[in-house]
C-alpha cells in the first residue's frame, strides 16, 4: 500500500511534468510564431525590477492661456529600508524660477546654456492641500528660502516595509522655457518637466541611519529620484498633440467642455515628463523592437529626421554595449524636437523621453549638433533612467558613461565628427579635450554645487568622458564591454554610488586601472603630459604630472627597418633612446586622450621634405586664391 503523501507527491510531480511540457510547447509555439512573423529584433529577456518605491497618480489640467496647471496627486512612498520614516520630503522644483532672487537663479546668473530667465514669466508651484489617505490633514514646512524643498511631518512614522500614501492638491505656474521646463511659442508649446511635488529619496546609511537625500534646487544640479509607477491623466484643449514618459500606449478621451484627457502610465521609472502643442507633427520608426516616436514642429521636419536617424543608429549600439533599452521593460521612446524659441528645454533626458534642440534652429547637415545631442540624451536612457545615480551629489556618474558612450557612438556612426564641413572635420572627443585642458586637474568627484559652470562641465562631462575613453583604449574593447555590461546589469533600477562603480571596475578591469582612474582622476587632481623633449643623436622623453598610466614608445630608426616598440612604465619619469632615431612616437595608438598636450608626443629628427613640398603646394594655391580675390569667382 502506497503512502498517500507519496501519491500526492507523485501527482504533484506529474502535474509539474505536464506543466513543463505545456510550457515547452507554448515556448515552441511562440518561437514558431516569432519565426513566421517579420524578423523584428528581440527585446531580450526582461529584468524583474525591485519593487517600486515612489509611485504617483496625477490628474491635472493645463491651461495654455495662463500657463497654469492644477493637479490632484496621490503619492505613495514605500519604505524599503530598515529605518522608520518620520517625515516626507518633497521637491517643488518650479519654485526655483519664482523670482530672480532664488538660489538657482543667483547661482546661474539668471541663465542656463545661454537662455535667460524672463522675470515677467516666472514659474512656481504651490501645495494647496495635503492629507493622508484617511483624510488627516498634514502641514508643509519649507526647508529652504525658495521652497524648492518642503517637509511634511507624519503623525506616525512609516515602518520598514510599510507604505504611506498622501493626497496632494497643487497648482503650478510654468515659466517661459529657458531651463528645461516651461512654455514657448506664445503658449502653443509646453514642456512639463519637474512639474509636480516629488519625493526625495529616503536612504539608510551607517553614519546617519535613515535620512532624506534631497537638496534645495541648485543651478548646476540635476535630479535624483526613486523608481516607481506613474499614472497620469492630463487634460488639455482639443487638437493638442501630447507626448510623455510611458511604458504603455496612451489613451485619449474627449470631454464635453472641448478638452481632451490624455492618460499615460509608466512603470519602473524615476520621473514623468510631458510635452504638448497643437502644432506638433510626428514620425515613428521601430528600432530593435522599440517604438521610437519623434514629435516636432512643422518646419523642423529635417531636424526630426536627423534626430531619428541618429537615435536609430545609436540605439542598437547601446543595446550591444550595455544591455537592452530599459532592460526590455520600456517598449516606447519619444524624441521631442523643441521649437526654436524653446531651446532651453532642449538637450534633456527623462525616462523613455528626451529632448533635442538646445541650440535652437536648424544646423547645416555638416554640423552634427542635433545628432550628437540625440546620441547623448539617448545614452541617458541607460545611465540615469535605468542606472539612476545621484545627479546632485555625484553628477559625474551618469554624465561620464553617457558622454563616453556618445564619443564611441559618434565614432561608430559619423567617424567621430560633429563638424565635417568643406573637408575639415572636428570630433566630439576633441571638443571635450578643448574644455578639459583648461582645468585638467579638476577632480571628477564633487557635488553639483561645488563647481562653477565651466568646472562643472569639465568635472562631469569632459574629463570623465576622456578618462573612460582612455580606460577603453588601455584595456581594450572586450574588457571594457565586460565592465560596462556588468555595471549596467548589476545596477539597473538601483542607485549605485562611485564606490559601486569602483568595485565593478576592479572586478572586471583589475586593480591597476581602477587605482589610477579613481585615486588620480575621480578624487585626485593628477594630470599628465608625456613628451619628446629633444631628438638629435639621442631622444629624451619626459613624463610630467602624477597621473600614472603606462604607455609605449614607437621608435623608427630608418625607412628600411621596422619600427621598434618600447614599454614606458609610469614610474620612469625620463626615458633616453640612443642611436639617432628618425622618428619617435609616444603612445602611438593614441590611447591616452587625457594627455594635456598631444602635439608633443611625436617628433622627427629632421623636417620631412615631402611634407614640406606638400606644404609649398598648398601655400601656392592659397596665395593664388588670395591674390585672385579668394572666394569671389
Query: Does the footprint of another protein cover residue 611 (CB under 8 A)?
Result: yes
- Minimal distance in Å, beta carbon 410 to another protein? 12
Q: Helices 396-414 and 463-475, interaxial angle, to 10°? A: 60
**Closer Cβ to another protein, 341 or 489, answer by number:** 341
Query: Does the footprint of another protein cover residue 566 (CB under 8 A)?
Result: no
31-39, 158-166, 167-175, 600-608 -> range binding another protein (CB under 8 A):
600-608
**CA pair distance 552, 432, nearest whole angstrom:** 24
Helices (H), 492-586: 498-509, 511-514
Query: Does the footprint of another protein cover residue 565 (CB under 8 A)?
Result: no
- Among positions 316, 360, 524, 563, the unique one binding another protein when judged by CB under 8 A: 360
SS3 assignment for 330-396:
CCEEEEEECCHHHHHHCCEEECCEEEECCCCCCCCCCECHHHHHHHHHHHCCCCCCCECCCCCCCCH
CB count, 10 Å around CB of 623? 10
Q: Compute the chain's Rg from CA coordinates.
A: 28
- Among positions 338, 353, 386, 429, the unique one binding another protein when judged by CB under 8 A: 429
Query: Does the footprint of another protein cover residue 433 (CB under 8 A)?
Result: yes
User: Taking a C-beta distance cutoff of 8 angstroms, is the pair 391, 222 a contact?
Assistant: yes
**CA pair distance 94, 80, nearest whole angstrom:** 28
Query: Does the footprint of another protein cover residue 616 (CB under 8 A)?
Result: yes
The residue with cell 626615458 is: 575
The residue with cell 564619443 is: 407
- Minimal distance in Å, beta carbon 534 to another protein? 11
51-59, 73-81, 564-572, 620-628 -> range binding another protein (CB under 8 A):
620-628
**Closer Cβ to another protein, 35 or 632, answer by number:** 632
**CA pair distance 390, 354, nearest whole angstrom:** 19
Q: Say how far residue 269 (Cα) sits from the centre of its chain.
A: 14
Q: Which residues, 436 to 495, sit near another protein by CB under 8 A?
A: 437
- Among positions 51, 239, 361, 569, the unique one binding another protein when judged by CB under 8 A: 361
CB count, 10 Å around CB of 446? 19
**Closer Cβ to another protein, 26 or 619, answer by number:** 619
- Among positions 459, 583, 592, 594, the unique one binding another protein when judged by CB under 8 A: 583
The residue with cell 529635417 is: 302
Query: Does the footprint of another protein cover residue 299 (CB under 8 A)?
Result: yes
Query: Does the footprint of another protein cover residue 622 (CB under 8 A)?
Result: yes
The residue with cell 526630426 is: 304
- Among positions 260, 283, 367, 430, the unique one binding another protein when judged by CB under 8 A: 430
**CA pair distance 503, 512, nearest whole angstrom:** 13
Q: Which residues, 402 to 421, sit near another protein by CB under 8 A?
A: 419
- Among positions 204, 341, 512, 544, the unique one binding another protein when judged by CB under 8 A: 341
- Minimal distance in Å, beta carbon 558 to another protein? 16
Query: Does the footprint of another protein cover residue 579 (CB under 8 A)?
Result: no
Query: Does the footprint of another protein cover residue 615 (CB under 8 A)?
Result: yes
User: Taking a C-beta distance cutoff of 8 angstroms, is the pair 566, 555 a contact?
Assistant: yes
Residues 6 or more apart whose CB falls under 8 angstroms from that of 586 comprise 530, 531, 532, 541, 551, 552, 553, 568, 601, 602
Query: Does the footprint of another protein cover residue 618 (CB under 8 A)?
Result: yes
**Closer Cβ to another protein, 259 or 600, answer by number:** 600
Query: Does the footprint of another protein cover residue 137 (CB under 8 A)?
Result: no
Number of residues that bind another protein (CB under 8 A): 52
- Among positions 87, 425, 435, 486, the unique one binding another protein when judged by CB under 8 A: 425
Query: Does the footprint of another protein cover residue 589 (CB under 8 A)?
Result: no
x/- binding map, residues 34-73, to another protein, per CB under 8 A?
----------------------------------------
**Closer Cβ to another protein, 22 or 580, answer by number:** 580
Closest of 417, 415, 406 to residue 381, by C-alpha = 406
**CA pair distance 548, 550, nearest whole angstrom:** 6
44-52, 61-69, 515-523, 607-615 -> range binding another protein (CB under 8 A):
607-615
**CA pair distance 168, 127, nearest whole angstrom:** 7
**CA pair distance 330, 292, nearest whole angstrom:** 11
CB count, 10 Å around CB of 58? 22
Sign of CA dihedral 95, 353, 226, 266: positive
- Minimal distance in Å, beta carbon 422 to another protein? 8
Query: Does the footprint of another protein cover residue 423 (CB under 8 A)?
Result: yes
- Among positions 95, 108, 275, 427, the unique one binding another protein when judged by CB under 8 A: 427
Give CA angle at 53 (400, 161), nearest 5°: 130
**Closer Cβ to another protein, 571 or 633, answer by number:** 633
Which three cell numbers mark 361? Answer: 534652429
**Closer Cβ to another protein, 235 or 355, answer by number:** 355
17-25, 83-91, 284-292, 355-363 -> range binding another protein (CB under 8 A):
355-363
Q: Residues in the site for another protein, rule: CB under 8 A?
A: 299, 340-341, 360-362, 419, 423-427, 429-430, 433-434, 437, 583, 585, 597-608, 610-624, 626-629, 632-633
Amino acid at each position: 500500500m502506497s503512502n498517500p503523501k507519496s501519491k500526492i507527491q507523485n501527482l504533484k510531480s506529474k502535474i509539474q511534468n505536464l506543466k513543463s511540457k505545456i510550457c515547452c510547447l507554448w515556448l515552441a509555439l511562440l518561437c514558431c510564431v516569432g519565426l513566421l512573423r517579420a524578423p523584428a529584433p528581440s527585446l531580450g529577456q526582461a529584468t524583474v525590477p525591485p519593487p517600486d518605491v515612489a509611485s504617483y497618480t496625477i490628474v491635472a489640467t493645463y491651461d495654455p492661456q495662463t500657463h497654469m496647471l492644477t493637479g490632484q496627486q496621490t503619492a505613495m512612498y514605500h519604505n524599503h529600508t530598515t529605518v522608520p520614516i518620520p517625515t516626507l520630503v518633497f521637491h517643488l522644483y518650479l519654485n526655483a524660477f519664482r523670482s530672480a532672487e532664488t538660489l538657482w537663479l543667483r547661482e546661474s546668473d539668471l541663465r542656463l546654456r545661454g537662455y535667460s530667465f524672463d522675470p515677467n514669466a516666472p514659474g512656481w508651484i504651490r501645495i494647496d492641500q495635503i492629507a493622508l489617505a484617511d483624510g488627516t490633514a498634514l502641514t508643509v514646512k519649507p526647508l529652504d528660502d525658495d521652497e524648492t524643498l518642503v517637509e511634511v511631518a507624519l503623525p506616525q512614522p512609516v515602518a520598514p516595509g510599510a507604505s504611506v500614501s498622501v493626497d496632494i492638491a497643487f497648482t503650478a505656474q510654468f515659466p517661459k522655457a529657458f531651463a528645461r521646463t516651461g512654455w514657448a511659442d506664445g503658449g502653443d508649446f509646453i514642456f512639463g518637466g519637474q512639474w509636480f511635488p516629488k519625493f526625495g529619496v529616503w536612504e539608510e546609511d551607517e553614519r546617519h541611519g535613515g535620512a532624506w537625500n534631497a537638496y534645495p534646487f541648485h543651478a548646476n544640479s540635476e535630479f535624483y529620484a526613486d523608481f516607481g509607477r506613474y499614472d497620469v491623466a492630463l487634460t488639455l484643449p482639443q487638437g493638442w498633440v501630447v507626448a510623455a514618459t510611458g511604458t504603455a500606449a496612451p489613451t485619449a478621451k474627449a470631454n464635453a467642455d472641448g478638452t481632451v484627457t490624455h492618460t499615460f502610465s509608466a512603470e519602473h521609472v524615476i520621473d514623468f515628463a510631458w510635452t504638448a502643442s497643437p502644432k506638433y507633427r510626428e514620425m515613428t520608426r521601430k528600432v530593435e523592437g522599440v517604438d521610437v516616436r519623434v514629435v516636432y514642429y512643422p518646419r523642423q521636419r529635417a531636424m526630426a529626421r536627423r534626430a531619428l536617424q541618429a537615435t536609430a543608429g545609436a540605439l542598437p549600439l547601446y543595446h550591444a554595449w550595455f544591455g537592452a533599452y530599459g532592460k526590455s521593460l520600456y517598449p516606447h521612446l519619444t524624441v521631442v524636437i523643441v521649437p526654436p524659441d524653446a531651446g532651453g528645454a532642449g538637450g534633456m533626458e527623462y525616462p523613455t523621453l528626451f529632448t533635442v534642440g538646445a541650440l535652437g534652429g536648424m544646423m547645416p547637415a555638416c554640423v552634427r549638433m542635433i545628432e550628437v545631442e540625440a546620441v547623448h540624451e539617448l545614452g541617458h536612457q541607460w545611465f540615469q533612467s535605468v542606472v539612476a545615480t545621484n545627479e546632485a551629489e555625484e553628477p559625474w556618474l551618469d554624465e561620464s558613461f553617457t558622454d563616453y558612450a556618445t564619443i564611441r557612438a559618434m565614432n561608430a556612426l559619423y567617424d567621430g565628427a560633429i563638424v565635417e564641413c568643406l573637408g575639415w572635420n572636428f570630433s566630439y572627443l576633441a571638443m571635450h579635450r578643448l574644455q578639459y585642458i583648461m582645468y585638467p586637474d579638476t577632480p571628477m568627484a564633487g557635488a553639483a554645487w561645488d563647481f562653477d559652470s565651466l568646472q562643472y562641465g569639465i568635472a562631469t562631462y569632459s574629463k570623465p568622458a576622456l578618462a573612460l575613453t582612455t580606460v577603453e583604449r588601455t584595456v581594450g574593447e572586450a574588457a571594457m564591454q565586460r565592465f560596462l555590461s556588468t555595471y549596467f546589469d548589476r545596477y539597473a533600477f538601483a542607485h549605485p554610488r562611485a564606490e559601486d562603480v569602483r568595485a565593478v571596475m576592479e572586478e572586471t578591469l583589475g586593480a591597476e586601472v581602477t587605482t589610477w582612474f579613481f585615486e588620480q582622476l575621480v578624487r585626485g587632481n593628477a594630470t599628465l603630459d608625456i613628451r619628446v623633449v629633444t631628438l638629435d643623436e639621442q631622444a629624451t622623453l619626459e613624463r610630467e604630472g602624477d597621473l600614472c598610466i603606462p604607455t609605449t614608445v614607437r621608435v623608427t630608426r630608418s625607412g628600411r627597418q621596422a619600427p621598434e616598440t618600447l614599454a614606458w612604465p609610469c614610474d620612469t619619469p625620463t626615458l633616453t633612446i640612443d642611436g639617432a632615431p628618425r622618428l619617435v612616437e609616444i603612445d602611438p595608438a593614441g590611447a591616452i586622450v587625457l594627455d594635456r598636450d598631444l602635439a608633443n608626443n611625436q617628433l622627427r629628427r629632421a623636417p620631412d621634405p615631402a611634407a614640406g613640398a606638400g606644404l609649398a603646394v598648398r601655400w601656392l594655391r592659397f596665395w593664388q586664391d588670395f591674390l585672385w580675390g579668394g572666394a569671389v569667382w
